[in-house]
Structure 1
Amino acid sequence: MGRGVLNPLSVGAQHMLIKRKYLFGTTILAGVVALAAPAFAQSQLPGVTVQGQSDEAADQLSDVVVTGSRIRRDPVNSPTPLIQVTGEQLQTTGQSTIIDYLATIPALSNSLVPSDTTGSGLNDGGLSFANLRSLGTGRTLVLVDGRRHVGAAQGNLAVDVDSIPRLLIENIEIVTGGASSVYGADAVSGVLNFTLRRDFEGLEIDANYGMINQDGQANKRISALGGINLLDDRLNLYAFAEYEDIDMVESMDIDWLRDSRALVGIDADPTNAPNDGMLDSAVFSGLTTLSRPRWGQTTLANSQQPSPLNDPDVPLASCTALTSANCYSLDPLKTYVYEGSTARLANFGQRIGNTGSNRTLNIGGDGENPSRFGQDSRVPESTSSRYQVGANFAITENIALTAEYKYVEEDTFDIAQPTFFDIFLSDSTYAANWTNPIRATSQFDLRLDNAYLPANVRTAIQTNTVTNYTANTATPGTPATTTARAWARHSMFGPDRSQDNHREVERYVIGLNGGFDQLAFIKNINWDLSYVNGEARNQNIERGVDVQRFALAADAVVDTAGAVNGRPGEIVCRAKLIQATSGDLDDYFRGGLLTDSVEGTRALNECVPLNVFGAGNQSEAALAYVDAAITVTHVNQQEQAVGAVSGQLWDFWGAGAIGVAVGAEWRREYTEGVGRSATTGDRLLFLNTGADFLGAEYESEEWFAELSLPLIRDSWLGEYAEVSGSYRAFDYTTAGDGDVYGVNFVYRPIRDITFKASLNTSFRAPNLGENFSPFSQTFANGYVDPCATLNIAAQNTEIRTNRIANCQALLNQYNSANGTALAYDFAGTTATNTDDFNPIYSSGIAGVTGGNSNLRPEESESFTFSVALEPRMFPNLQLILDYYEIEITDVISSVSAQTMSNLCVNGPTLDPQTCGLLFRNDPTAGREFYLGAASGDPIGGFIQSSINYAALQTRGLDFTLRYSLDTEEAFGWNLGRFNYSLGGLWLIEQKQFLDPANAASFTELSSGVFYPRVRMTSSLTWVPNDTWSVNWSVDWQTAQDSARIRDQMSNLDSRPYDTYDTGDFARHDFTVRANLRDDLSIRFGVVNAFDAEQPAYLGTTTYSNFDPYGTRFFVGLNYRPF
């Protein structure tokens, strides 16, 4: 058995077999019940059909190749569950893109729509990736006419489905279950096959204007397809062109984000009494925050009085060091905001939230909407041009040539979270004739003689004192000694970080295919040879700031003598004044002096003073000086050559001829990404810097075979039965060799009902990015330390016990390595919390992310069982039940710093794999044992990489009901025709096994946010005559748990009861279509007619399954002049 095959007798497989015995019976029972009560079934999207037809319809079809097999057969006998989406529906839907529509199909929930790929990653703004069964975009194989398509993101094979020409799409076939034995790697959860139109003749123009957000942002598209037949219809030539323009949607364009709603902490429980009867949180709207406004607020060093231990809303947090976050809690008497060149104490309005020493939220008063700065662009601005030309030529009766060329060009622009800085103000860290120290990418110091610092703020800092408090007991902490602390911290968001992306995709396909009646004992022979060459090119301009220039520019002073430019009283950069007089030009980034390097010298000579105190005070010259950009160009290349032949052997017992197919495949994947290192140069940038991806590739050689064996036909045992199998052996230059297989069974006892079952093993080879991407800088934002005493107390008993022991073990290692004697009460058992470990991370933690060349292939096993019912007693009724289960092992996953930190300490003992990638080396006073490292450390606080450590399991039941009613036939009076469909998914389980220390431990996602237990799409179309049709569609989802009550049994007052789940969600869409002439039709409608939106307490994260964009309208036309 090869390395890539799954052992069917594994523990997971045995569990699956037990489940199958249960589901086999219940699925049949559900089908029988559905015959008696057809109203209890699932519907389907307009234009979506599920494979399975009546015999009368099947008699009109010749044998064809359907997705899931290479053997030609009657589509009714397709061996796997098959969902089809028609090209017509893609044109007429109110959804603006292909992926937006596909993501409403329950089987494709959690596909990545443009809003999901905007703002958070690099080089991927606006990309669209299908995600079958929510198992990951890299585990869904996307084909075009059965052939591979080059991946869009660097080193990744996931296909941007919106790059596929819309008007050319005949249909999309969706197959659930592993299909690697037929199509090769990556078909772990299944296959999406885009089948394109052939032999098109004439001209078709389609145009659409659709709002993508209720504030008016829109998608404008025009498409054209022309074709002609020549040489007695032996030659067909076609050409396609499309232009699409999409407006940017920013956070403040979305009404519920403008409302600024959130679940806010209002009470903290004692460690030993987590359920004190007072709600710990409540939902508020209209929130603003003063924590980090654009261009900042300044807070003087202070200390907050800790609450009594029986109501510990405010913990003890003593101010002991300039850079300690404990010193800078927002305080109405210590926090200043800026208006023009002046400053005043901040207006806190109605302060919201009672927990923590730093309470940042208020209603009214000063501050900004917290939705604004998490992510600016929710949908990128983009323009796209797509072209495809092709030819289909019948060279002889038995040989045909296919050729096509596609070119796609797309430009996108999006804005991510702005740059952010903590600037420490004091006269204690450097002298007036020194350059200012840079502590980290987002931290540096300024002196109090800064030219732009308002005089009242300077005076307040100079006279500031701090009173720390004694430990809180049954009573609040009491004031201790008051100490002079001329310290302040200026916290700010600065210039935007943006990405300007230019993408190009080229794809060439050439193929020969043909057939002949018989060769020796093989009949109905069909053969196919094809070669595909695809290339995706991406140039991304990533814009941020030069941190060293920003720090030098912010350190502005008054040149009283005019030493720099001969103008006394001019505001200049301190570094230039030092250069003109005398002093220390230390380079805190490179070491040595600024004048020792080219970039340091340029930064010094070109320095323009920058006012960082208050929005609107920045000169264009200063912003231009600190601006920085890097340009990265990446390339994905793909080559695929496939040869296959299929035919029919003998018919031994009258059930039908044995079908066979054999073939071979060769494939090459290559990727590179260059420019990041060269354009970063010798600069300290607030950008994702790192090494270039200098190029990596792999090749694969694969051999495959299929066999179908009809068992009965028109027998007393039933109308038809067939068993079929497939096998593939592979050899990868990176992942090694192995094999996979599939077994299928089809049984139709009577014409009304068909049963299908399949068992498949599949594999996914590590992609080039997972294997070989170089280390680059990244940040862990919003990090929650799993060793914090308060966080430990909030866990269940098992994890709490493990974390207490493991965090103590980590602390022992830290003390041993650093010669320290730190001691913390991780259990929170002592009467005081002065010895608790409750770190405050005020900004993102720097680390690196990169590839892992030691990855193994992922392996999977899938099982499906289907019942298709078309009862003669109910004409025009179809009911389909498709059960599936998929298990994936050795899952390759990029583990975040947060996940690694949790995995490190959650198990019975420390996990060496994840703990070894984390570094608690922050040397800053008051931050010992924090995750992090010293400024300039090449690694930082963590190494984020992909590892084979996880497993995934999912089970579900697709259900589909379709019914058509002609009122004239049914009732004798003509009200037109009604077509109804209901299609949905009952998600039985969706498990993630993410704990390497405990293989049986899992997280159940089903019924959680993004994973509704049941999702259904209902469609009712009324066709009163040949001209008009009206459609009403509903996307309905059951309530999803935002927090599981079972996990909160010891703390039932943690939140209001109605915030434990989202409540049921329903989006209603209406479409009207009119065929005005034979050659002209128009369509118009409304999406999300009743403005359904996600619940307030989910915060500012957009959950695309809830439709974040409100009520919007669309209009389109289709014109076919000839």
Structure 2
Amino acid sequence: MMKLKRNYLFGTTILAGIVALSAPASAQTQNAEPSSATQVDEIVVTGSRIRRDPTTAPTPLIQVAREELLSAGQNTVIDYLAQIPALSNSQVPSDNTGSTLNAGGLAIANLRALGNSRTLTLVDGRRHVGSQQGTLSVSVNTIPRLLIQNIEIITGGASSIYGADAVAGVVNFQLRKDFEGLEIDSSYARITEKGRNDQYRISALIGQNFFDDRLNVYGFGEYERIPQVDSMDLKWIARGTALVGVDADPITASIGPAIDGVYDNMLFSGLYRLDRPRWGSTTLANAQQPSPTTNPNVPQANCTGVTAAACYSVDPSKTWWFDGTTARLANFGQRIGNTGSNRPLNIGGDGEPIGTFSQDDRLPRTDAYRFQVGSNFKVTNQISAYAEAKYTREDTYAVGQPTFFDFYLSDSIYGAGAAPVTYLSGGAPSNQSHGLRVSDNAFIPATLKAAIAANTVTNYGAPTLNASGQALAATAAPWARHTMFGPNRDQTNERELQRYVIGFKGDHGDIGFVKNVSWDLGYTYGRMDNLNNERGVDVQRLVFAADSVVDTLGLVNGRAGEVVCRVKLLNAQNPALTNAQTGAGGIRDYSNRAGQTAGTYGDVRARAEGRAAINECVPLNIFGKGNQSADALNYVDASVNVRQRNEQQDAVGSLSGQFWDFWGAGPIGVAIGAEWRKEFTQGIGRSADTGDRQLFLNTGPDFAPASYESKEFFSEVSLPLFRDSILGEYAELSGSYRYSDYTNVGNVDVYGVNLVYRPVRDISFKTSFNTSVRVPNLGELYSPYTQTFANNFTDPCSTSSINNASNSEYRTNRIANCTALAAAKNLTYDFAGATETRDDDYTPLYTSGIPGVNGGNPFLQPEESESFTFSTVFQPRFAPRLSVVLDYYEIEISNVIASVTAQTAANVCVNGSSLNAGACSTIFRENTPVANPGNNIDRSEAFKVGSGGPFGGFIQGAINYAKRTARGVDFTANYTIDTREAFSWNLGTFTNSLQGSWLIEQKQFNNIANPDDFTEYASTLQTGGSYPRVRFANTLTWMPNDALALTWTTDFQTSQDIYQYRTQISNIDDRPIEYLRTGNFIRNDFGVRYNVNDEVTVRAKVTNIFAEEPAPWLGNTLYSNFDPYGRRFNVSLNYRPW
């Protein structure tokens, strides 16, 4: 971080040089302008606790006035903030829908795309309880919008002023004071272009003064309904567009050239997937003929057994579809894609739209109720008391990806001699693969049973350079796999938030030699309670219900020929619990529960949950959509209810004043204070609701109560250097310091130094250097391990991943590191694809999500950051209606705390010059020995990320990364033309406002083993974020008169790399070159505001009027920066009767 300190010295040196050079010019302006022209009332501004001239605010500041917020026509406050380039990666509700637990509907500010937790959100300069369990992140939806006076955004570190977490900056909502009157604001919005998603809101604010205006009391209330938006509501997703592999290149130069002039991937629309529809399709065991190695579209993957993944590639002659209770061969329509063994995409025919494959809802349904009351009372002329109380409730509902299962259909699924009992797979409780007997299943259509019984598999020999693999002798393979999406996984959040503030403040003027003495003593209590209901499936019950047979003798219910669950029939045949340890003569429990001896099986009836599952079992037809009875679905349904709580107590006292004006530059300002804060969190219910059940849900232990406290002391001083001097109009040096003692991480201290210089009235310069910290939150520290899944996992060690690595260095590193990982398990693979055969490649198949766990890390340390800024403010006298602000910033964060996904950890493990021990320790590869060494698929199965660890395939949580850096320039320009003054005819006024950001660099240093290894995010598109090089919003407002305003807003961002050009040099025919970037994105909005009279204002807006859409080659991933909702509109009415 020495670079930032040198930059600050450089910045102060520049200012010193400007001071010296500007002396003559300043002297000339002294005679032209009287000193009174620069006098401004001194007030408290954000970024400082000292009263000062607002034009000398020490830090870069973006201000949003109340009128701007209302006139913008955005449906929510976060929608408006996310248009500000510095906040463009803020979390909007669509970002976490279907992918994040307990976060439905949250809207969280994120400055500089450095993470939600690194932006401190305040209300009137005071802390606010976190809206998500275990965090301090504040959902700005809880801020009463009619009460907002303005929003001030500090775009630099500010921990020395406001405390921990202000690493990237501060967003401070300043509320209206002493409001008197009644104001009602209502809005209606159509939020998608397809036109069936309507949003409503009504807000009211009332206030009244009493006792000769000494007491003000106000009340606020709001109801808002935001509709549920699913994938098919978005036109660009509903089109079903994706890049599909159509050509595979030879894996080594010795086989053939990687560039053959045929694009490897092309764009198609109207796509469906056949391999995992709702309630399934069934594929008979098969093998696909491998292609010649000079054109290796289809790899060699022979079928070796019932549960071998390579046996079940969808195939027009092997894949069956269900119409009602009958089955037929699936209609593949126009089959799309030539690469891979499993090619499930088609246009027309059967299948599931690809837009709904990974996720259903894109925006949760929200019903919100928000209330706040408050008062301000002048106890004396110098002392005031204030109080406020807030209550909000937000109920959200969203559907994520459905449950998913594989059922292997075979009479031999249990092994030779095994009893014909329901087969519930072994291993982790999250396992989604199970078995069903074919011959006596009550729901498998007869035609499909016959096809399975007669099925044979033709495997193939190894292909050669110019010839496909040759067919071997056909062998009997009377088995199949039924792959399906089952019942939905949905989440309901009932989030309640309470916040109470009470305090006193005083303004005493001069006391002795101290002038403008003021103080503030306040206490804040906040509590967030969230009831999170997660619905999914009881896996044991699903398997019991699916394994249904015909009770020919009527043993279960006395009705011969009735379809019953097999376990009920077995229980009726043998009601005695004969051997709970081995299951001999009983009903075997194949679930391998904790404490069970390996190779033994308990009796399901030994457990209360098992007995209930048998007695209540209702047959479930899993073969085909629409065949499921309501009773059966209710039987397999499961839910987990978690009650979460955050509590925050915060007491702050501060005292400020001004000392003598020693040399005529202005008084010295001083502020001191102390703060005590306690944070508490807990989450209970998950453990009790899970009990002894196997659930397709995020199961795990409760979040035990956890807390920490801090005691903090802070001070600030401002030292005016000169005013109206030969050296310039004004200069000030200020500094701040904070010492904090935390009960969990110990002592930390931070400081800041700022210099402001205004050589002449027209221009001013500011530079600052600040250190900041972020203390790990309670969730990062103490979250218990809970079950989760890594979906769409790409193994970084697979031969194809290595050959398609984003740069040659990664490729080289992965070959060496993956070889070392495999050697530790006594395995060898051709990771580089160096040999002509693919038999020795590592080619894992991940057919469903990988189970693992999320959890905290109690050994985390605080993050530390340094930030440097240099600002120029230009307000020329020759153009009094023009203002230009340029803010240069640098931020460097070390010891970064980041939640690492399984995919990221797996990549980081092998991407560096050596194995990253920290990341590798969280990824677990299989411990299963190779079943068939001669089969490539079986050999690859032995090294997959899977169930090799104590919690499945991975532990996903937070660790201290090396560092992150960001550097860029924010720019703002405003200009107003009064046509009557400028052109002598009255067309009204035109105001143009430009606000943007130029991102010079944004680097993530994620390799602890190699701290200098970084990934450049600037001008790239990343999972969870968009980093355009330049983004700006330009608003042109025309006011032909005082009552009418017309606005045109253009939101522009430059194109971003999906893949960088240089990484494609070795394979320039991978895809058309335009598919490597997003393309520039421009959204245009048009709005109107009309003041009908002094009491009524009407606003209307058309957003994205030209219906711009994300680039179609982005697939179905929703990036909120690229407006996904199409053309839409909103109208609102503001009524002020008194």
Residues 610 and 618, structure 1, Cα contact 8 Å, conserved in 2: yes
Offset at 1:1077? Answer: 0.9
What per-residue deviation string (whole Å, max 9, x for no partner) do you get for residues 364-418 of structure 1?
1111111113111111111111000001001001110010000001111110100
Any stretches of 5+ residues in structure 2 without a counterpart?
23-32, 575-584, 594-600, 932-937
Does residue 1016 of the first structure (1) align with residue 1032 of the second (2)?
Answer: yes
Does residue 491 of the first structure (1) align with residue 483 of the second (2)?
Answer: yes
Q: 1:434 aligns with which of 421, 439, 447?
A: 421
Offset at 1:322? Answer: 1.6
Query: SS at 2:894's partner residue?
Result: strand
> 1: CA distance between counterparts of 2:723 and 2:1122?
48
Amino acid across the alignment from 2:249 = D
Residues 647 and 680, structure 2, Cα contact 8 Å, conserved in 1: yes
1:225/1:1066 Cα in 2 relative to 1: closer, same or farther (>3 Å)? same
Offset at 1:754? Answer: 0.5
User: After the TM superposition, which residues 197-208 of structure 1 pair with which residues of structure 2 at under 5 Å, given as runs?
Assistant: 197-208=176-187
> 1: CA distance between counterparts of 2:701 and 2:913?
37
1:171/1:14 Cα in 2 relative to 1: closer, same or farther (>3 Å)? closer
Equivalent position of 1:222 in the other structure: 202
Equivalent position of 2:783 in the other structure: 773
Residues 27 and 881, structure 1, Cα contact 8 Å, conserved in 2: no
> 2: CA distance between counterparts of 1:585 and 1:778?
30
Offset at 1:89? Answer: 2.3
> 1: CA distance between counterparts of 2:719 and 2:942?
66
Offset at 1:798? Answer: 2.0
Does residue 172 of the first structure (1) align with residue 177 of the second (2)?
Answer: no
What per-residue deviation string (whole Å, max 9, x for no partner) do you get for residues 985-1038 of structure 1?
111111111112221111111111211111110101111112211111111111
Does residue 572 of the first structure (1) align with residue 583 of the second (2)?
Answer: no
Offset at 1:784? Answer: 0.9
Residues 814 and 929, structure 1, Cα contact 8 Å, conserved in 2: no
User: After the TM superposition, which residues 666-681 of structure 1 pair with which residues of structure 2 at under 5 Å, given as runs?
Assistant: 666-681=676-691
Query: SS at 2:458's partner residue?
Result: strand
Residues 860 and 959, structure 2, Cα contact 8 Å, conserved in 1: yes
Equivalent position of 2:911 in the other structure: 906
Does residue 92 of the first structure (1) align with residue 71 of the second (2)?
Answer: yes
What per-residue deviation string (whole Å, max 9, x for no partner) do you get for residues 707-760 of structure 1?
100011001110000010000111111121121110001000000000010000
Q: 2:952 aligns with which of 940, 944, 968?
A: 940
Residues 204 and 1119, structure 1, Cα contact 8 Å, conserved in 2: yes
* Residues matched between the structures, number: 1082
Residues 844 and 944, structure 2, Cα contact 8 Å, conserved in 1: no
Amino acid across the alignment from 1:558 = V
Offset at 1:19? Answer: 9.1
Equivalent position of 1:685 in the other structure: 695
Offset at 1:441? Answer: 2.8
Query: SS at 2:918's partner residue?
Result: helix
Q: 2:295 aligns with which of 268, 292, 311?
A: 311
Does residue 535 of the first structure (1) align with residue 527 of the second (2)?
Answer: yes
Residues 94 and 210, structure 1, Cα contact 8 Å, conserved in 2: no
Equivalent position of 1:982 in the other structure: 994
Q: 1:470 aligns with which of 461, 484, 498?
A: 461
Equivalent position of 1:785 in the other structure: 795
TM-score (norm 2): 0.93
Q: 2:1103 aligns with which of 1068, 1072, 1087?
A: 1087
> 2: CA distance between counterparts of 1:574 and 1:488?
20
Q: 1:459 aligns with which of 438, 450, 457?
A: 450
User: After the TM superposition, which residues 656-667 of structure 1 pair with which residues of structure 2 at under 5 Å, given as runs?
Assistant: 656-667=666-677
Equivalent position of 2:105 in the other structure: 126
Q: 2:215 aligns with which of 203, 224, 235?
A: 235
1:1024/1:690 Cα in 2 relative to 1: closer, same or farther (>3 Å)? same
Equivalent position of 1:967 in the other structure: 979
TM-score (norm 1): 0.94
Does residue 283 of the first structure (1) align with residue 276 of the second (2)?
Answer: no
> 2: CA distance between counterparts of 1:944 and 1:357?
31
> 2: CA distance between counterparts of 1:731 and 1:243?
41
What per-residue deviation string (whole Å, max 9, x for no partner) do you get for residues 564-611 of structure 1?
111111111111111111464111224511110010000011100100
Residues 660 and 667, structure 2, Cα contact 8 Å, conserved in 1: yes
Amino acid across the alignment from 1:1000 = D
Query: SS at 2:824's partner residue?
Result: helix
> 1: CA distance between counterparts of 2:79 and 2:670?
38
What per-residue deviation string (whole Å, max 9, x for no partner) do you get for residues 604-653 of structure 1?
11100100000000001100100000100000000100110010012111
> 2: CA distance between counterparts of 1:339 and 1:600?
34
> 1: CA distance between counterparts of 2:453 and 2:761?
90
Amino acid across the alignment from 2:425 = I
What per-residue deviation string (whole Å, max 9, x for no partner) do you get for residues 802-841 of structure 1?
22222121112113xxxxxx43211211121111110000
Single out whichever of 433-442 and 923-932 deviates more from structure 2.
923-932
> 2: CA distance between counterparts of 1:920 and 1:848?
15
Residues 139 and 190, structure 1, Cα contact 8 Å, conserved in 2: yes
Q: 2:943 aligns with which of 917, 930, 953?
A: 930
> 1: CA distance between counterparts of 2:13 and 2:719?
27
Residues 375 and 416, structure 1, Cα contact 8 Å, conserved in 2: yes
Residues 925 and 947, structure 2, Cα contact 8 Å, conserved in 1: no
Does residue 79 of the first structure (1) align with residue 58 of the second (2)?
Answer: yes
Equivalent position of 2:82 in the other structure: 103
1:18/1:953 Cα in 2 relative to 1: closer, same or farther (>3 Å)? farther
User: After the TM superposition, which residues 983-1062 of structure 1 pair with which residues of structure 2 at under 5 Å, given as runs?
Assistant: 983-1009=995-1021, 1010-1062=1026-1078
Equivalent position of 1:850 in the other structure: 855
Query: SS at 2:696's partner residue?
Result: coil
Does residue 325 of the first structure (1) align with residue 317 of the second (2)?
Answer: no
What per-residue deviation string (whole Å, max 9, x for no partner) do you get for residues 52-94 of structure 1?
xx99998685211111111110100101111111122222322
Equivalent position of 1:371 in the other structure: 355
Residues 337 and 345, structure 2, Cα contact 8 Å, conserved in 1: yes
Residues 1038 and 1045, structure 2, Cα contact 8 Å, conserved in 1: yes
Residues 79 and 756, structure 1, Cα contact 8 Å, conserved in 2: yes
Query: SS at 2:695's partner residue?
Result: coil
Offset at 1:656? Answer: 0.4
Offset at 1:950? Answer: 3.3
Amino acid across the alignment from 1:241 = G
Equivalent position of 2:1080 in the other structure: 1064
Q: Root-mean-square deviation (CA), in Å? A: 2.0
Offset at 1:266? Answer: 1.1
> 2: CA distance between counterparts of 1:725 and 1:808?
54
User: After the TM superposition, which residues 455-854 of structure 1 pair with which residues of structure 2 at under 5 Å, given as runs?
Assistant: 455-474=446-465, 475-582=467-574, 584-589=586-591, 590=593, 591-795=601-805, 796-815=807-826, 822-854=827-859
Query: SS at 1:712's partner residue?
Result: strand
Equivalent position of 2:934 in the other structure: none
Single out whichever of 237-246 and 919-928 deviates more from structure 2.
919-928
Q: 2:120 aligns with which of 137, 141, 149?
A: 141
Offset at 1:517? Answer: 2.1
Query: SS at 1:603's partner residue?
Result: helix
Single out whichever of 517-526 and 216-225 deviates more from structure 2.
517-526
Equivalent position of 1:50 in the other structure: none
What per-residue deviation string (whole Å, max 9, x for no partner) do you get for residues 889-921 of structure 1?
100011111111111122222222121222112
1:22/1:434 Cα in 2 relative to 1: closer, same or farther (>3 Å)? farther
Residues 406 and 434, structure 2, Cα contact 8 Å, conserved in 1: yes
> 2: CA distance between counterparts of 1:230 and 1:607?
68
Equivalent position of 2:1094 in the other structure: 1078
Q: Percent identity?
A: 58
Query: SS at 1:173's partner residue?
Result: strand
Offset at 1:476? Answer: 1.3
Equivalent position of 1:871 in the other structure: 876
Equivalent position of 1:49 in the other structure: none
> 1: CA distance between counterparts of 2:175 and 2:783?
34
What per-residue deviation string (whole Å, max 9, x for no partner) do you get for residues 222-264 of structure 1?
0000001111111100000001011101111111111011111
Does residue 117 of the first structure (1) align with residue 96 of the second (2)?
Answer: yes
Residues 782 and 844, structure 1, Cα contact 8 Å, conserved in 2: yes
Offset at 1:934? Answer: 4.8
Residues 960 and 982, structure 1, Cα contact 8 Å, conserved in 2: yes
Amino acid across the alignment from 1:915 = C
Equivalent position of 1:301 in the other structure: 285
Single out whichever of 634-643 and 792-801 deviates more from structure 2.
792-801
Residues 190 and 1128, structure 2, Cα contact 8 Å, conserved in 1: yes
Equivalent position of 1:46 in the other structure: none
> 2: CA distance between counterparts of 1:329 and 1:1081?
62
> 2: CA distance between counterparts of 1:683 and 1:15?
60
Amino acid across the alignment from 2:398 = D
